[in-house]
Structure 1
Amino acid sequence: MRSTSPVVDPADDPPPGARQLARGITATWWYTVSAVAFLELFLVLVWTLQALAVPGDATAAFVVGVGGLIWWGSTIVLLADYRHRLDAEPGIAWTRIALPLLIAVGYGIAGGLVLDSWLLALMPIAQSVLLLNWPKGVRLRMVVLTTVVLVLVAVADAARGATEIALPGWIPALYAILIPAMSVSSLWWWDVLVTVDRARASEARLAATQERLRVATDVHDLQGHHLQVIALQLELAERLMRIDPDAALEQLRAARVSVDEARQGTRDLATRFRSVPLGDEVANARDLLAAAGLSVEADIAPDADEAPSSALGPVIRETTTNVLRHGAGRRARLDLRRVDDGWRYEVANDVVTGVATHPVGSGLDGVRRRISEAGGTLEIREDADEFIVSVTVPRSDVSTADGQSR
């Protein structure tokens, strides 16, 4: 089925790739939160079942179960605050975490009293404290210290008869001892992912900065040389104007030649930066999409550098931006090959199901005009869950496009 392109180009849209990277980080965070939350809920369930096993009194099960759910909700608040501080400044904002910590203390005291368990009294406090954003190096020591203390308290409960020595009685105790370490390990993996993502973003910014510096250096060297020569020629012409007009006129002509050389050098420099071989263009698009977290399939013809870069280069860049901004963010397919009537470039990506298509934006409108001027065709279609853009240009476009670029 054919449809219009879902490309829009709002002025406030984030840069290419930024939305996809944020989506990937967000998904990983929800995996982390769900893992910690499941562990805590399972622990509350195990302790509640142990309370139900005590005959004759349902109050203990009610306190442990309902109080556990309230404590569980307070830890979700701590996790949300942990993520917020991770993107801001390190440290602990005690004013925001005071209530969740008080809930942990209250639940520990109430649950420990009704079940006569020191381990249950200490476990919620230890878990909540370890979910705070401790400085580097401090959390590891806190985990080791907390685990040792929980083990000692569990042994003390067993010694005074509060915990059965048999295996069923030790199941809640075992989970209570291990849950702080398991939760911290999940948060540690999240921290590693954020650090890697920031390093990747910093590397991209550094590469862009280095490229701008290289361009600035080339422009400075080119223009600085020509402007210095022109200044000397004009100064010499000014001095010769009264004593030797012909020589002065010759210097003015030389200055004009230097101006033409500077202009041509600037044009050649700009052409060199614009004229990226098509094979490199597709490879760059593939690497950018892969860096944004997509699974990319690329089929690039061995002689792709012979394809008309002036016509297809903007197509590759625009469609790559389109995939990053409006695709579902899971997969993409790039294909550049020779066909009977010239060259064909096709890009396909998955789309968000259930989202209505948008009108064609200015990006693909510009691509359509450029391809039309080059004598090619642009086809936009949707097949099942894929959005596909296909562009075909004739081989004769090489000379035409180069003439237009000048």
Structure 2
Amino acid sequence: MTSPVVPAAGTETAAQRRGRLRLTRGITATWWYTLSAVVFLELMIVLVWAAALTEAGRGLPAVAAVGLGGLVWWGSTFLLLREYRQRDEEEPFVRLPRIVVPLVIAACFGVVAGVLSGLWLMAVLPVVQALILLNWPPGIRVRVVIAVTVLLVVLWFVDGRVGVANAGSSWWVLGFISVSLPGMTVLSLWWWDVLMTVNSARASEARLAATQERLRVATDVHDLQGHHLQVIALQLELAERLMPDDPDAAFTHLRAARKSVDDARQGTRDLALRFRSVPLTDEIENAADLLRAAGTSVQVSVDAGAVRAPASVLGPVIRETTTNVLRHGGGRWARLSLTREPDVWRYEIENDAVEASPSRDGAGLEGIGRRVQDGGGTVEVRRDARSFAVIARVPLTPESLP
């Protein structure tokens, strides 16, 4: 009997664990890219501010105070970004107590930088940047960015009339980077938000598909069993009424009720068999989807006439070999193909190998071999240091011919 492709509830195959870990690592790496972009921009701001004040001749104490204060503000950004990653879009600002300290640091640094530099731009930007990193409701952050960018442009124009404007090119670099910081920060966060939305949509789609399939099976089972139970109840009721006066007729209804029970059992078995006997093209697509869900890169090649291939033989082979790939494959790549040759249908599944055999006890391959031989076909196993392949060839049947 073939092993089911889908593992039992609460279990996780090695390939699925590897796929989940790769997906987690990919999301984590994207987050570090996002965080690095934001903190790099802020560090550049602090360095440009210090250079501009030095060029403007504001004195070493003022430059040192702005530089050190800027580093403290830069460090507080990590706290805001951590809270942003853990945010709940349905409940913005629910974690407000955890962001009070970074907001206070930004406000204090803004006051110090504004007083020592005499620039409104330096006074306002730290607070603006901290506000941008908060968990705003959907659609609000864009409006906030537009508003604060306009404000920063106005402050840049106002500050252009003070002494530091004579610092030459440093002033223009300071102004441009300062005004651009909120927009560039939001672009970095937007990329992270898109990734999380796609990941959430993928998980929701998988759950919805599973729920729809369960509902469809439940509906069919309900209809089947409900019909037979209603007939059985009616037959038993008639038998109960006839028993005192006409025992023979009562026993006839009892035998009919028993037959209805047998029909219900057989109908349930047939229903289960119908769900298992899906077309081979669907079998291969299901196998590919399952492998992709485990993090495996899958290539599929199916002959246009594959719907006429012997599903009773190849269907279990596809499920069994897919199980072997999930359990014992390397989890990086797999190739599935179903093609028609002159006299046979040829099914092949190849994957990267990490073990000497796809099954610890060999029972999987033996079961595949017996099933294919019963159908008049042959099984070929090919392995080398980097790949493992199972090739099943099944003769053409009259149903296979166009």
TM-score bucket (shorter structure): 0.7 to 0.9
The answer to whether structure 1 residue 73 and structure 2 residue 75 are counterparts is yes
- Alpha-carbon distance in 2 for matches of 1:248, 1:224: 23
How far residue 366 of structure 1 moved from its aligned partner, in angstroms, is 6.4
Instruction: Judge conservation of contact 1:297–1:334 (CA < 8 Å) in 2.
Output: yes
Normalising by structure 2, we get a TM-score of 0.79
- Alpha-carbon distance in 1 for matches of 2:360, 2:200: 29
Aligned to 2:376: none
Aligned to 1:226: 228
How far residue 142 of structure 1 moved from its aligned partner, in angstroms, is 2.1
**Higher normalized contact order (CA 8 Å, seq sep 6+, divided by chain length):** 1
SS class of match (1:334): strand
Q: Which amino acid aligns with 2:231?
A: V
Q: Which moved more, 1:39-48 or 1:337-346?
A: 337-346
- Alpha-carbon distance in 2 for matches of 1:163, 1:40: 21
- Equivalent residue in structure 1 for 2:351, among 348, 351, 358: 348
- Alpha-carbon distance in 2 for matches of 1:293, 1:47: 46
Instruction: Judge conservation of contact 1:282–1:334 (CA < 8 Å) in 2.
Output: yes
Identify if the C-alpha distance between structure 1 residues 234 and 321 changes in structure 2 by more than 3 Å, giving closer, same or farther. same
- Equivalent residue in structure 1 for 2:174, among 172, 175, 181: 172
Aligned to 1:402: none
How far residue 342 of structure 1 moved from its aligned partner, in angstroms, is 6.2
- Alpha-carbon distance in 2 for matches of 1:130, 1:171: 22
- Alpha-carbon distance in 1 for matches of 2:361, 2:194: 38
Superposed CA offset, 1:260-314 (max 9, x none): 2222211110001011222212223434556787654221233434152442232
Identify if the C-alpha distance between structure 1 residues 358 and 395 changes in structure 2 by more than 3 Å, giving closer, same or farther. closer
- Alpha-carbon distance in 2 for matches of 1:60, 1:319: 68
Instruction: Judge conservation of contact 1:21–1:293 (CA < 8 Å) in 2.
Output: yes
- Alpha-carbon distance in 1 for matches of 2:232, 2:8: 44
Counting only pairs closer than 5 Å after superposition, residues 149-164 of structure 1 correspond to structure 2 as 149-164=151-166
Instruction: Judge conservation of contact 1:233–1:255 (CA < 8 Å) in 2.
Output: yes
- Alpha-carbon distance in 2 for matches of 1:326, 1:229: 53
How far residue 88 of structure 1 moved from its aligned partner, in angstroms, is 7.3
Instruction: Judge conservation of contact 1:24–1:293 (CA < 8 Å) in 2.
Output: no
Aligned to 1:268: 270
Counting only pairs closer than 5 Å after superposition, residues 249-328 of structure 1 correspond to structure 2 as 249-287=251-289, 296-305=298-307, 306-307=309-310, 308-315=313-320, 317-318=322-323, 321=326, 327=331
- Alpha-carbon distance in 2 for matches of 1:363, 1:243: 66
Q: Which moved more, 1:176-185 or 1:235-244?
A: 235-244
- Alpha-carbon distance in 2 for matches of 1:226, 1:363: 45
Aligned to 1:5: none
Q: Which moved more, 1:148-157 or 1:213-222?
A: 148-157
- List alignment gaps of at least 5 residues for structure 2: 1-6, 374-378, 398-402
SS class of match (1:172): helix
SS class of match (2:336): strand
How far residue 239 of structure 1 moved from its aligned partner, in angstroms, is 3.1
SS class of match (1:302): coil
Instruction: Judge conservation of contact 2:106–2:126 (CA < 8 Å) in 1.
Output: yes
Q: Which moved more, 1:300-309 or 1:96-105?
A: 300-309
Instruction: Judge conservation of contact 1:318–1:363 (CA < 8 Å) in 2.
Output: no
Instruction: Judge conservation of contact 2:119–2:159 (CA < 8 Å) in 1.
Output: yes
Identify if the C-alpha distance between structure 1 residues 364 and 378 changes in structure 2 by more than 3 Å, giving closer, same or farther. farther
How far residue 321 of structure 1 moved from its aligned partner, in angstroms, is 4.5
How far residue 180 of structure 1 moved from its aligned partner, in angstroms, is 0.9
The answer to whether structure 1 residue 109 and structure 2 residue 106 are counterparts is no
How far residue 167 of structure 1 moved from its aligned partner, in angstroms, is 4.4
Instruction: Judge conservation of contact 1:379–1:389 (CA < 8 Å) in 2.
Output: yes
How far residue 372 of structure 1 moved from its aligned partner, in angstroms, is 4.5
How far residue 26 of structure 1 moved from its aligned partner, in angstroms, is 3.1
Q: Which moved more, 1:284-293 or 1:152-161?
A: 284-293
- List alignment gaps of at least 5 residues for structure 1: 1-7, 352-356, 399-406
Normalising by structure 1, we get a TM-score of 0.78
SS class of match (1:395): strand
Q: Which moved more, 1:17-26 or 1:88-97?
A: 17-26
Instruction: Judge conservation of contact 1:275–1:309 (CA < 8 Å) in 2.
Output: no
Counting only pairs closer than 5 Å after superposition, residues 32-43 of structure 1 correspond to structure 2 as 32-43=34-45
Q: Which moved more, 1:13-22 or 1:40-49?
A: 13-22
Q: Which moved more, 1:332-341 or 1:133-142?
A: 332-341
- Alpha-carbon distance in 1 for matches of 2:129, 2:290: 40
Instruction: Judge conservation of contact 2:89–2:137 (CA < 8 Å) in 1.
Output: no
- Alpha-carbon distance in 2 for matches of 1:153, 1:255: 89
Aligned-residue Cα RMSD (Å) equals 3.7
The answer to whether structure 1 residue 197 and structure 2 residue 180 are counterparts is no
- Alpha-carbon distance in 1 for matches of 2:355, 2:47: 48
SS class of match (1:164): helix
Aligned to 1:393: 392
How far residue 9 of structure 1 moved from its aligned partner, in angstroms, is 9.8
Question: How many residue pairs end up in the alignment?
Answer: 378
SS class of match (1:159): coil
SS class of match (2:35): helix
Identify if the C-alpha distance between structure 1 residues 371 and 12 changes in structure 2 by more than 3 Å, giving closer, same or farther. closer
